[in-house]
Structure 1
């Protein structure tokens, strides 16, 4: 049995809806909205060749007026769910998507994302509307990690491909209109899963993982020592791609950026968990279901920082923590701006020893708090929601769904973001164990 079909990752075989969920503690009144999380959940009888190829399933929890009104899970009903191939005699079918990586809201649309296809629009109740191409203006794929600018409401995203043009940058207005698209010169076939946007710049990461036509898992990428790792920095705005500068960095692969911001004129700080060659291979072994040495879902992924000095044409980089983490999050009101606090999920070590946990970093003091969730339990990506009367960056809540194998159940924990080790503010008991997934969002009713 493939590891991504067992344990915390055992797929659901059905879709359910449950109302009036039991709540311990008190749900803060400002939590009025939906927590929606995405992940891979192949249909019964289907064994994908790679974890990332499993069909997308979204899980939603509706909170309002101090109540947990409902939980529901739904497959994203793309053509691929019923077996439609990605490659056809006319080329790629951009609607044949797993739609299983992330889910966001933009301009009133709830979008399930997978970086090799069009987005798929969902209703507020998580039913599938269909593929969304920005009214015909998007003719390429869309990254699963677009960035909202908290100042302008714009959505920044990119299309990447193992073939030229390797990288295209897009901007959508806060109303959902695709404002402009432009090819980015100098890019390569390196895997580009995430990126960052500051107030004046767009920051791309090219790691040592690149296109490999010989990879048989269906995800055609592999670690290649000859692929240089680089950071590309370009000015924001129409025509900025022509001025991109590329900076060589140490070998590695960063799947998820925590944030980037400007730290003085022409100086940019970028942070995110990064793996080395051995860490990537161990994780890949798990993702493809290989019994290779040390196969675990996430290995040797350490928080790393790069300081890019544009005038000096230099990059200074360092590993800033020795804890194995992934799924970094921040207060998204500071996306692209200097942040103090960062959150993440910690993983057992390379040999599977230890528990999962929810982590809080204080980048000013260097403090690190860890909430170990306990044996047999796995937290989802911790989503930050600001408190209504908050005055500090960390005044708010972390929402994480805990999968408990011992009880075959799940709970939504509402944690006080100022102290993740304290007792939960509230616990919502879900009607079933929620399969481990990838990314999600808090969709506030005020949006």
Structure 2
């Protein structure tokens, strides 16, 4: 696997309309520390609360804020979703100002082609969302924004807010959203969602509560893997726990994003540490076989969210490599570990 220059596949496009650096802010925070993606030839750094994306140059320096050539009316989101069929980028952008959420669709040329305002009771933390063939799924859960406490501790658990999942048709309007009530919980990272004859299947990492006793450390309860089967006709949902191991940071083979998946990779966490972003091993879930396998790191090392790379474009689902950074607490150094999924429980093929 030979790393490619960041600009190797940059398409020709007109000069970007860039806000002055540091430029105007969007939302209550300018902290873009949530995600890095590539879209329309740009490397973008993203964050929660509606800040504009920050574009990185080839040396990974911050070049400018990006409003998609003047087509983005407000802020953006930490975890947009690429549609693997159309190449478009979908996002649920949240804000402390009404209507508090907007469905944004960015075309393959890097310009916003569609926005749909979504009226929420209060501004909530929607760190991510899910995308299926016909729906954008909204997680309106009981973690609400307190602008007075921003930016240090802006979010808090609110028992009175309730929990619900919104089904927004991809080309529908705000009045077309179907809201389905859920048991109170929080989801930072959905695994994937897809449609079947029986309804929508939504796999998530579910936290019982977050930002409740400690507003600075969200890992106060044990997140586990769950499946929600949503029946749009009746507006009901069946909730089922798939695995009781404590875990976070799910990834799938992104070629299957929005369609039925068999495999998912997660990071196993050490209960009681309050650690949300790293743990001592990686997990592979085979939902068809009902089996979970672990790739364990050497003692003293903690790994974070993995990235899956297919072995070749037409490789079977999950056949390729997992890349993840691991931190060695004893030396305070990090390493990039590459695991061949053909020998998932064995040692890495490169470090």
* CA shift in 2, pair 1:201/1:416, >3 Å: same
RMSD across aligned C-alpha pairs, in angstroms? Answer: 2.7
RCO (CA 8 Å, sep 6+): is it higher in 1 or 2?
Answer: 1
Number of corresponding residues: 336
**Superposition pairs for residues 65-84 of structure 1, below 5 Å?**
79=22
* CA shift in 2, pair 1:280/1:93, >3 Å: closer
Q: Deviation at 1:137?
A: 1.3
In structure 1, the gaps of 5 or more residues are 1-28, 36-76, 87-91, 288-296, 428-447
Q: 1:151 aligns with which of 85, 88, 94?
A: 85
Aligned 8 A contact 2:124 2:142 in 1 = yes
Paired with 2:220 and 2:124, the residues of 1 have a C-alpha distance of 20
Is 1:300 aligned to residue 300 of structure 2? no
In structure 2, the gaps of 5 or more residues are 7-19
Paired with 2:340 and 2:213, the residues of 1 have a C-alpha distance of 34
1:259 aligns to what SS in structure 2? Answer: strand
* CA shift in 2, pair 1:216/1:411, >3 Å: closer
Paired with 1:263 and 1:222, the residues of 2 have a C-alpha distance of 35
* CA shift in 2, pair 1:78/1:369, >3 Å: farther
Q: 2:106 aligns with which of 137, 151, 172?
A: 172
2:144 aligns to what SS in structure 1? Answer: strand
Q: 2:175 aligns with which of 205, 228, 242?
A: 242
Give the equivalent residue in structure 2 for 1:272.
Answer: 204
Give the equivalent residue in structure 2 for 1:252.
Answer: 185
Q: Deviation at 1:101?
A: 1.1
* CA shift in 2, pair 1:410/1:129, >3 Å: same
Is 1:281 aligned to residue 212 of structure 2? yes
Aligned 8 A contact 2:337 2:350 in 1 = yes
Q: Deviation at 1:205?
A: 0.5
Aligned 8 A contact 1:280 1:299 in 2 = no
1:142 aligns to what SS in structure 2? Answer: coil
**Superposition pairs for residues 45-444 of structure 1, below 5 Å?**
79=22, 97-116=30-49, 117-185=51-119, 188-213=122-147, 215=149, 218-237=152-171, 239-264=172-197, 267-277=199-209, 280-281=211-212, 284-286=215-217, 297=219, 299-350=221-272, 356-388=280-312, 391-427=315-351
Q: What is the TM-score with the length of structure 2 in the denominator?
A: 0.88
Q: 2:3 aligns with which of 4, 27, 32?
A: 32
